[in-house]
A and B are shown apart, each in its own frame.
Chain A
Amino acid sequence: MTRTISFTLNGEQVAAEIKPHHNLVEVLQREFNLMGARESCGQGMCGCCTVLVNGAAVSGCLYLAAFVDGAEVRTVESLADARTQALSPVQEAFIEAGAFQCGYCTPGFLLMATQLLEAYPDPDEEQIRHYLSGNLCRCAAYPEIIAAVKLAARRRKANSVG
């Protein structure tokens, strides 16, 4: 019951042989060696497995890989500039604010924070907390994560003005 799916992965056209019961995280890790999306709770609650499918954030742990056939998929690995490897403003802000300890949750937070700033370029604290409420950090770096998002928002604004 193997099938071939083809999709765009971080801007590149790719194909993979998968089984219908494989989830998206399994396929990204096994077939493409992309380890940024990782399974933690496995139940849609923590966001460690966040992947963008057609521009929408999904929990890769609950998403059948077969469903990305023909879709546009983005992972945390696409945040840095492909050519220069320069980090994105959100990634920079996470480092500067010290928004992690072990880093296990960080790829998910980075993608969700990036989405958040697309939706709300100038978020208030409430919007940040609400948007990120489905991401869990066992090291409890929450205050720093919120500070990082605010910092990234200011940077983005400064960049777009200047």
Chain B
Amino acid sequence: MTPFELVEPASLGEAIALLDPEDAGVRPIAGGTALMLMMKAGVFRPTRLVSLRKLARLNARIAATSDGALTIGAMTPLALVERSPEVARIVPVIPRAMRRLSNIRVRNVATIGGNLAHGDPHMDLPPLLIALNAEVKVVGANGAQAAERMIAVEALFTGYFETVLAKNELIAELRIPPQGRSRAAYLKVTTGSAEDWPALGVAVALESEGSAVKSARVVVSAATEKATRLKGVERLLAGATVDEKMFARAGDAAAEEAECMTDVRGSAAYKRELTRVYVGRALRQALNSDGATR
């Protein structure tokens, strides 16, 4: 790796001042797992890294409110989220998804904030958090340390490794709203070895009443340029009767709607077929799951 300056500001104001938006060589660093890969490969040669470790506003913490909303600090390592009893109680789909997210050592270091800010469409949490209707609190807009805005995770990604975040903006925390009676599932498909980046990720969250779907959120990732909601499929599902025919119809509609791309993990046509099959499976799994509130 090429040499760089590492700064570890203790206040948000300092951190934001150090994040020079004009210099592409300056970036925040959280756990560093994604950045280290890029630096080792030589695709990112920083001049300055701004460590977020000493910023109290981004601190590792997990809090649940009495109505079942979760707040998770940006610097919280994935392993803490995975082992949190509150997370397991309110959104059991998250620890389930973590089991196939990399390995224990990476989860011990990789942070929630880094997983979202990287904008990598192959990561597992973005599609799942979109399905759960989560949002992030972002600080530092226009270099103002007091500036704060909430962004739906759904609106965070603008393209392949691209987000709406300004270079001097930081994710401070993640908020997952109460899930009520909604049930969720996340499935990922790897076409190489089991630990390879996925060819497809599918996240669904849905509420049903009796044998009818009340509302659904369906998200695909990895096969597409960015994690994307399939709103046509969601409309089709709203009010539909829960049965095998419905799973098949939703799969067909998803294959139609998802803008799959060809890469080393499969052709676009192949990924459309994966989407067809896995959207149906994810819906079935969500409906058969324990539900978010238990």
Contact = CB atoms under 8 A, between A and B. Distances in A.
A115 B194 CA distance: 23
Nearest to B1: A21
Contacts of A19: 3
Contacts of B3: 1, 19-21
B211 to A, nearest CB: 35
A126 to B, nearest CB: 11
B31 to A, nearest CB: 9
A86 to B, nearest CB: 27
A44 B108 contact: no
Contacts of A44: 33, 36-37, 102-103, 105-106
A56 interface: yes
A130 interface: yes
Given A23-B36, A56-B79, A66 B6 contact: yes
How many interface residues does chain B have, given as a range? 20 to 34
A133 B36 contact: no
A131 interface: yes
Interface stretch (A8-16, A57-65, A77-85, A139-147): A57-65
Q: State the majority secondary structure of interface residues on B.
A: mixed
A21 B195 contact: no
Interface in A38-57: 42-45, 47, 50, 56-57
B53 interface: yes
Nearest to B80: A56
A45 B195 contact: yes
B103 A63 contact: no
Contacts of A115: 104
B105 A20 contact: no
Contact of B4 (A21, A42, A57): A21
Contact of A64 (B6, B37, B103): B6
Interface in B32-55: 32-33, 36-37, 39-40, 49, 51, 53
Nearest to B83: A119
Given A44-B106, A50-B105, A133-B195, A62 B32 contact: yes
A64 B79 contact: no
Interface string B175-210: 000000000000000000011000000000000000
Given A43-B37, A44-B103, 19 more contacts: A1-B3, A1-B5, A20-B5, A21-B3, A23-B36, A44-B102, A44-B106, A56-B77, A56-B79, A56-B108, A57-B105, A58-B108, A62-B109, A63-B109, A64-B36, A115-B104, A131-B104, A133-B103, A134-B102
The 6 A-B residue pairs whose C-beta atoms are closest, nearest first, are A134-B103, A20-B6, A62-B36, A56-B108, A21-B1, A59-B105
